[in-house]
Amino acid sequence: MATVHREPNQVKWIGVRPGHNGEQIIKNASANNATVEIYEVPADKLLFIFGYFVSITAAVNVAGYLEIHTAVPALESTLYAAGARAGYSTSVTHNFGNVPIEVAAGYFIYIRSSAAAPVDAGFNGILIDA
> What is the secondary structure of 29-50 as a DSSP string?
EEEESSEEEEEEPPTTEEEEEE
The residues facing 60 across adjacent strands are none
Give the separation between CA 116 and CA 35, rounded to whole angstroms: 12
Residue 116 CA to its chain's centroid (Å): 22
pLDDT top residue among 2 and 109: 109
CATH T-level fold of 22-129: Jelly Rolls (2.60.120)
Give the separation between CA 24 and CA 47, rounded to whole angstroms: 9
Model confidence, pTM:
0.74
From 32, 95, 101, select the one nearest 68 (Cα to Cα).
101
The pLDDT, as a whole number, for residue 5 is 46
Order the strands of the 75-84 sheet from edge to edge: 35-40, 108-113, 62-69, 75-84
Question: What pLDDT digit, counting tens, does each position of 29-65 carry?
Answer: 988 888 889 999 999 999 999 888 888 877 677 888 8
Q: Which of 1-15, 19-33, 53-67 has the lowest mean pLDDT?
A: 1-15
Mean pLDDT value of segment 20-31: 85
Give the separation between CA 107 and CA 73, rounded to whole angstroms: 8
Question: What pLDDT digit, counting tens, does each position of 71-130 carry?
Answer: 777 888 887 777 776 666 666 676 776 778 899 999 999 998 887 778 888 999 999 887
Residue 22 CA to its chain's centroid (Å): 17
